[in-house]
């Protein structure tokens, strides 16, 4: 489903930018840590949550 969002810029590969926040209001939100149990996924890895 996320892959259907389209392209957000000039890139050689499909990619996704992620931002984790503690509020849905970006003006009031603060960043929160985002971690993957086994470290950052390698290129081409499918991450499901």
pLDDT tens digits, one per residue of 3-23: 666 666 677 776 777 889 999
> What is the average pLDDT across 24-46?
87
pLDDT of residue 23: 95
For residue 25, what are the CA distances in angstroms to 20, 31, 48? Answer: 12, 12, 25
pLDDT of residue 47: 75
**CA count, 13 A, side-chain hemisphere, 47:** 13
Q: Quick one: pLDDT band at residue 27, thresholds 50, 70, 90?
A: very high
| φ and ψ at residue 19, rounded to 5 degrees | -135, 125
How far apart (Å, rounded) are the C-alpha atoms in residues 4 and 22?
25
pLDDT of residue 7: 65
pLDDT of residue 3: 63
Three-class DSSP category at 43: coil
């Amino acid at each position: 489903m996320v892959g259907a969002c389209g392209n957000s810029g000039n890139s050689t590969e499909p990619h996704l930018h992620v931002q984790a926040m503690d509020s849905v209001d970006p003006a009031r939100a603060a960043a929160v840590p985002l971690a993957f149990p086994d470290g950052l996924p390698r290129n081409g890895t499918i991450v499901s949550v």
